[in-house]
């Protein structure tokens, strides 16, 4: 997004003083969120408000009482192996694909996963628990 290069986000909701920087570039949201909120205004967590449509645009920066959704910038292709043996595909932020193999991380609105490494330019994880 033009004008915003970095955003500071809390490492954990209970520790707002601990932050990490995320580089803002091309932003992606989940298809589910796009379909649910198309034609409406949402807040991209820790960023700004947008109208979701064929041409999504920023509406304001102020924190409004509107639905809040997750987003990823410069997303890396990823997939998670579920307990039933099936895979779920999506995007993760670049830093989530640069961690040590075996590291457990939380994917917001999904659960905890263990990083298993890169395979054919796809970050692979194993589902751990909700």
- Please report, for residues 20, 32, 79, 87, the alpha-carbon distance to residue 9 in angstroms, rounded to integers and kept in the order given: 6, 23, 24, 29
The pLDDT of residue 28: 93
Q: What are the structural domains, with CATH classification, of the chain?
A: 6-72 (2.40.240.10), 75-129 (2.40.240.100)
Within 8 A by CB and 6+ apart from 111, the residues are 127, 128, 129, 130
CA distances from 118 to 23, 38, 69, 123 (A): 21, 33, 27, 5
> What is the per-residue pLDDT across 54-64, written as a single tens digit (0 to 9) for each?
888 889 988 89
Cα 58 versus chain centre, distance: 18
Structure tokens at 68: 């809040």
User: What pLDDT sits at residue 25?
Assistant: 86
The mean pLDDT of the chain is 91
pLDDT mean over 95-113:
93
């Amino acid at each position: 997004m033009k004008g915003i290069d970095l955003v500071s986000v809390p490492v954990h909701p209970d520790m707002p003083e601990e932050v990490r920087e995320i580089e803002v570039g091309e932003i992606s949201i989940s298809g589910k969120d796009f379909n649910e909120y198309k034609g409406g205004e949402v807040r991209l967590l820790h960023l700004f408000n947008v109208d979701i449509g064929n041409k999504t645009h920023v509406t304001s920066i102020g924190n409004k009482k509107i639905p809040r959704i997750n987003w990823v910038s410069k997303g890396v292709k990823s997939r998670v192996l579920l307990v039933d043996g099936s895979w779920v595909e999506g995007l993760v932020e670049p830093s989530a694909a640069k961690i040590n193999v075996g590291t457990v991380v939380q994917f917001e609105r999904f659960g905890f996963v263990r990083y298993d490494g890169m395979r054919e330019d796809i970050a692979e994880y194993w589902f751990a628990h909700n």
